[in-house]
Structure formats: structure tokens, C-alpha cells
Structure 1
Amino acid sequence: MTNSRISGFYNLNLDERRKKIADSSSLHDFGTLDSALTHGLSLETAMHMVENVIGLYALPLGIGLNFQVNGRDVLVPMVIEEPSVVAGASFMAKLARAKGGFIAESTEPLMIGQLQVLEIKNLYEAKQKILDNKQELIEYIDTFPSSIKKLGGGARDIEVRIIESSPIGSFLVVHLIYDVRDAMGANAINTACEQLSPKIEALTGGKVHLKILSNLSDRRITKSKCVIPVKELEFVGADGVRPYTGEEVRDGIIAAYAFAAVDPYRATTHNKGIMNGVDAVVIATGNDWRAIEAGAHAYAARSGKYTSLSTWSKDNEGNLVGELEMPMAV
């Protein structure tokens, strides 16, 4: 069983840290772990990944400690060049352990594929035709072989939006809602949009232009919550720095959140701090951090005004309560 509470980890040397991680997790083969962390990506492999390769670029891989998620200890890999992010995340996770750590949940893994339909004479009639044939279109998409379909995923819904005004005039947008299971889903969505395109053109008399995944995955939301006892927030003064009561620290955090909630200039920096930790984990796990970042900031502006992704408050017992909600297509 994994134990994320490793006392004195910071003071260990590199070999001792790797041994500790292996002993504290299911990675009992220290030799395999050591080899993977030492050698990493080869230049030969890199040559087959992207174009015009001339070398490799390395970033530090750290481990976020003290995390307890839904009652289970986890060691969190984080790839980042900025100091204090791993330490800060580990410290906050330590404070959250006092009330059971983090409680997290996710919605169904639904992604959106978009089809932009141009050259339509009557947008409202075209929209209605698509909606009238929605079930047939969904069943049609699911007739194509798909590994995601075999795992229980597939087309779930079709929605239609009318864009009344744009730099090229009005047009129609069709949203294909697709359950991608544990995949990020880009390839499956793009393929399904290509397959759907001729059917949409036949129904509307228009021309399908773009057929592509949206990285604003607002149907695939992850929520996380922690409760921190006010006594855990007490700061004992030292070296000329005055002490702070837990209530002062709690109220200071809530006041800083309130600033981010109403001011986009502050919210941008506030959310950058959130994404410091999120991006570090996304990169370490080999996911598309650019997609996560873009979706997060678009989600923060979903009300028409850019605001904080997180909220901070106090409960009836005076505890500090933190909540985070954002798209998470990984």
C-alpha cells in the first residue's frame, strides 16, 4: 500500500529518495525505477516524435508528498522548473490530511467534437432537420468499429448551435457529444466528426468545413475539495516575523480569493498558481498540458468574465474550505 507521508524526504540524497519512493509504493523493483529515472528519453526516440530534432531538453521530476485522495495515499509526480511548487503542494497536502485529505470526483468522460457548417440557406430549418434525425445520426456513428466503443464509450448526443454573426457571416455548429472512456479522446472525436460530416451535409445542404475536437471539455469536469482545521494554519513567528493565528491566516486566504473572484488581473495570477501544480502533474503523466491549460482558462471565463477556478470559504466550525472545479481531459 502506498504511503505518501515520508518524513525527512527533503534531507535525503538522490539515491535514498528513490529507494524511499520504491519502498513507499508498489514500485518495489528499485533497479527498474532507478533505470527509468536516470536514462529517460533517448535521442533516437525523440527523432521519431517531432520534426527537426537537434537534441533533448530536460526538466526536473519531483514527487508531491502527503497527498491523500478519497481516503487513499498517493505519490504525485510533478515535472516543473519553478522552485517551491512541489514543496508548496506537499505542504498544503500535509495540512489537508488532518481532515482526511482531498475528496475528488469527476463527471462522465464526455468530449465535444465540432462541425462548422457553411453555405446554409436557412439556418433554423437546417438545425431542426439535424435534431429531428439526431438518434439516427448517433446510431450511425456507433456502427463504425472503435476500441472506445468496445469499452462502453461512443456517441451520446448531438447538439446544434446557430452563430448569428461572425467575420464571415452566420453559420451552423454541430456538437457531437462523445464518451471517450479513459482516453483523452482527440483521435476518436476527430474520426467520428469526419464520419458524421457527409450525413450533416446531406441533411442541411451546406458544406462542412472544420471537423475537430474542442479543448473546452466542459462536460468532463473534475472537482476537488479539502477542509483544513484552523489550528493547522497557525504560524509561529521567528526571526523577527510576527506570529499569526489560524483565524488570521484563514481569513487572509479567503480575502485573497475574493480579490481573484472579482478582478481578472488578479484572477490570471491566481489561476497561474493553480496551473503550476496541475501542469506539472499533466506533463509528468505524459498528457497534453496545452489542452488542459487552454480549457481551464476558457472555463474560468464561462460566465463572460474571467474569474478564479477555485473558491475558499469557512464552514460552520471555522475550518478553511477549498474547492476547485475545472475541465480535465486526460
Structure 2
Amino acid sequence: MSKAIAGFSKLSKDQKIAWIAKEYFSNPDEAIALIQKYWNNDAEVQKLHDEFIENTITNFYLPLGIAPNFSINGKDYTIPMAIEESSVVAAASKSAKFWATRGGFKATVLNTEKIGQVHFMFKGDIEKLRSFFATVKPKLFSETESITGNMQKRGGGILDIELRDKTDLLPNYYQLHATFETVDSMGANFINSCLEQFAKILKSEAEIYSDFNEGEKNLQVVMSILSNYVPNCVVRAEVSCPVSDLNEDKSISPEEFAEKFITAVQIAEVEPFRAVTHNKGIMNGIDAVILATGNDFRAVEAGIHAYASREGKYSSLSHATVEDGIFRFWIDVPLALGTVGGLTSLHPLVKLSMEMLGKPSAKELMQIVAVAGLAQNFAALRSLTTTGIQQGHMKMHLMNILNQLQATEAEKQKAVKHFEKNTVSHSAAGDFIQELRKVNA
């Protein structure tokens, strides 16, 4: 039986919930109760959440944790992280503490250029098109001043506009390739508004350009959209210390640790199957801070993974060396972030996260996010090359397993004590809880 419905978006929130509960759940009242349980008790906050997206019925919560003790460019930070995966916040905190006594993290914004494109088709003489573009380019700047005025006052705006011939990739395909500076704004709406205005100018000017024949005047704009691939909006985060200072783990010498660590990075540089998981660990840190600060983690993910493939093969985002007895570990990542506009000024917990970070500029936030990614990667590689990843991760995951087993508080306390000296797994935890219950039956 079809569950299609007409005019769903016009229903009230209660009507939407009632319809979903009736159509999809064996116990509608129970489903409604669960949906309402996750509403915010503050009606104004709930209304704000309801208006972030369309057809909202409730809130889907993620834990917001904090990782203290980060020293970045000589400044102390406590970093907010919104994530559901156990051990991530603990790993970041452990890395922060480790490097705080070894000079801290250094971070540098290498550049901040963002990109947008007007994609169009032109069936005609390329030289005529180039002459036309030279004629129309000044108008692309002047006739978008109503859009760019405020951004220019803040130090941003359109940096350049190029005509790019892409006919080797697709017949008759060309681009207006524009670069932008958006200062503390992520700038998506600003860039897209400029691009759509470019498209209108391009089409209208083509229709009256005297050197085009009738066929050439019919220039076809396909779409106008920013790119989330920002290879010229890059930040570098790094740590370094004498190899002899890598002496926290007494089961391995600093020299052997450094060698294994660098080899692990090199494997991720040359082996895509490893690189994907290696970079996923980096994104654990990056995405968690991006979510906590109200930025677009999907855009960042897409751009970073494209960047990891820029040489034609997917590879590690991080790199490590030892030179003259100095261990160095660093990451370069493209990050188009904002600290004004969007959720950054609307979501109460985003505001709280931003205040926790000292109300950073977009450049400072880029540095913080990159450092979080590097810290996660260091923690993961340190575990992988010494004790193994599961020992620490599963101990952190133990509480999730115990909750799945519906353990009581008393059972949890006994399980935590037991697994201080025993290997954690779902089956081991299940067996332990079963034995406890047999004894107490």
C-alpha cells in the first residue's frame, strides 16, 4: 500500500508527526512520545531548531565534548567537539597534553582563496569568445558591486575572473572561473549570488555582441555554483621535537617509535586502502570541531578528500620526517570556514563553542580545526604503532556496550573495574554481565 502524501510540507508539525506515527509505527503513541521526548524544553530554542531545515519533527542530538590543554601558536585552547564516536575526544585531549610540554602546535594559514564557476556551452570561434570575454570582464566586476560592496568593506570581494577552455574534456564546454576572498564568512551565498549575476551578464552581453554571428550569440549557461574544492584555501598544522623527547611510552625507545611512526605515515602516502582510514581518523577531529562551530562538514569533507587525490592518487593528508634528530609531523588541509553568518550566529551551542574558543576569526578557526585533525592522527598512529588501536578504543567504547546490554549502574561499576585488566569486546562484556546476573539471581 502506498504511503505517498500530497501537501505534506503544508501540514503543521503535530499533523506531520501524527501522520508518520500512524503510517510507519506499530505503536503510534510510543513513537510520538519518543519524538516529543527530544524536543527542547525551551519553546523559543525549539522554534529556532524547527526553522533550521524543512519538515522538522524533533531534534537529533550529538554529544558535545571538550578537549582541553591545546597550545596553538603559544595560545591555550579548550576545543569543543560534537561527535558520537567514543575515544575521539579522549585521544585529542591526550595528544594535546603530550605536545603542550613539547612546544605545542604551530599553525599557519597558507592562503584563503575560494572558487566559484559559471559553466557554459559555446559553439563558435574560440578567439571571438576570448575577445568577448575581455570586453565583458570589467562589467562582471562593476555590475556586481551591489553584491560585493559590504564584503569589500571587510577586506574581501572578487579577486579575479578567468575564461577557461574545457573543450578537451567536453565539446563546447567553457567556464568563468572566479576567485574570491570572503574574510570571516564561509561565503557560499555571497559567491553564488555573484556567480548568478555573472551568468546574467554573460548571456545578455553575448546576445548583443557585434562580432558574434547569430549562432554564437546563443551562448548557453548551464549552471552557476561555488566549488567546495578549495586547494588555495589551505592551513598547515605541525608539531616537532627532538626524537629523544618522544619518550612517553616506556615499552619502546624514542628512536624506534619515530621510525615506526614515520613508516606508518609513509604507508598511508603510498597505499590508498590505508590512506582512506588514515584520513578518516584525521576527519574525526576536523568534523567534530566543524560541527561544534556550525560549519558545513560535508563541504569540508568533499574538499579535503579531493585535495588528498590532487596528485592523481588518493594519499595521506599528513606527513612526518626526522631530520638532524628533530621529529616533525604536519598536515596541510583545505578549509573553507566561517565565523559569521549561517548557524554561527543562530545555534545557541555554536555560539557557546565560539565563545569557548575566544570568538576566533575564520583564519584562527582554520588553524584550530587543522590542529584537531593532526592531534587525532598523532593519537591514532601512536596507538597503532605501539599498543594497537583496539586497546584504548574498546575501553572507551565499553560504556556503549554496557548500555546496549542494559547493564545497571552497579553492573557497570563492576564491569569497568574488571576490564581495567582484561581485553574489551562485545562478547566478553556480554559474558561478564551474564555471569554477574547468574551470581545475583
TM-score by length of 1: 0.80
In structure 2, the residue matched to 1:182 is 184
8 Å CA contact retained: 1:142, 1:149:
no
| AA aligned opposite 1:224 | A
Match of 1:328 in 2: 335
Conserved 8 A contact 1:108-1:179: no
Give structure 1 regions of 4+ aligned residues with deviation exceeding 4 angstroms.
38-41
- 1:89 is aligned, of 80, 87, 92, to 92
2:267 matched residue in structure 1 = 259
What whole-Å deviation, never above 9, does each CA across 1:16-59 have from its counterpart, x for those lacking one?
A: xxxxxxxxxxxxxxxxxxxxxx9799432222111221211111
Q: Report Cα offsets for 1:199-232 as digits up to 9, x if no partner.
A: 3232574122211110001221111111144344
Unaligned ranges ≥5, structure 1: 1-37, 238-242
What is the DSSP-based 3-state SS (H/G/I as helix, E as strand, rest coil) of the residue aligned with 2:282? Answer: helix
Query: In structure 2, how many angstroms separate the alpha carbons of the residues matched to 1:138 and 1:292?
Result: 28
Query: Could you tell me the percent identity over the aligned residues?
Result: 37
Q: Which has the higher helix share?
A: 2
Deviation of residue 143 (structure 1)? Answer: 5.1
Correspondence 1:1-330 to 2 at 5 A: 42-123=45-126, 125-127=128-130, 129-131=132-134, 133-142=136-145, 144=147, 146-166=149-169, 169-201=171-203, 202-203=205-206, 205=217, 206-236=219-249, 243-316=251-324, 318-330=325-337
- Report SS of the residue matched to 1:159: strand
Residue deviations 1:136-174 (CA, integer Å, cap 9, x gap): 5334433545421221211111123222255x6330011
SS of corresponding position for 1:99? coil
CA change 1:224–1:40 in 2 (3 A) is farther
> How many pairs does the alignment contain?
287
Give the TM-score taking structure 2 as reference length: 0.61
Contact 1:95 1:232 in 2 (8 A): no
Relative distance call for 1:154 and 1:258 in structure 2 (3 A) is: same
Q: 1:4 aligns to what? A: none
CA distance in 2, matches of 1:81, 1:281: 12
Aligned mates of 1:41, 1:64 — CA distance in 2: 30
Unaligned runs of 5+ in 2: 1-40, 207-215, 338-441
Per-residue deviation at 1:128?
Answer: 5.1
Structure 1 residues 120 and 283, CA, compared in 2 at 3 Å: closer, same or farther?
same
Larger radius of gyration: 2
Higher strand share: 1
Whether contact under 8 Å (1:155, 1:177) holds in the other structure is: yes
Aligned-partner Cα distance in 2 for 1:304–1:123: 29
Partner of 2:345: none
